[in-house]
């Protein structure tokens, strides 16, 4: 009984750690975002969504415009940009 409980708990923890796994680094996400909107990086946050982990990168352009780029943390694909 204890062994079954331990195995179930271990499987659950492994599943949770895999769900939040990002294949690209924060630095790679910044590089991808700056290709879309060059400028100073104001913030980088990683979040979990229904479709998987993403990075939200906020940049400030030389003209003073703030842009937010959402990047799929697994593939590096730009999901949205504003």
**Residue 33 — pLDDT band, cuts 50, 70, 90?**
very high
pLDDT higher than 90, residue 8 = no
* Average predicted confidence (pLDDT) for the chain: 84
pLDDT at 17: 47
Can you give the pTM of this predicted structure?
A: 0.72
What is the biggest distance separating any 2 CA atoms in the chain, rounded to whole angstroms? 64
Cα separation, 81 vs 37, whole angstroms: 9
pLDDT digits 0-9 by tens, 47-74:
999 999 999 999 999 999 999 999 999 9
List of residues 6+ apart from 65 with CB closer than 8 A: 39
Q: Which residue has the higher pLDDT, 16 or 34?
A: 34
Q: Which domains are present in the chain?
A: 22-81 (3.10.450.40)
């Amino acid at each position: 009984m204890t062994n079954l409980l331990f195995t179930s708990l271990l499987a659950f923890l492994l599943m949770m750690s895999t769900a939040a796994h990002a294949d690209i680094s924060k630095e790679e996400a910044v590089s991808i975002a700056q290709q879309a909107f060059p400028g100073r990086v104001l913030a980088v946050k990683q979040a979990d969504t229904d479709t998987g982990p993403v990075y939200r990168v906020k940049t400030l352009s030389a003209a003073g415009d703030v842009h937010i780029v959402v990047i799929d943390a697994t593939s590096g694909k730009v999901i949205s940009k504003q």
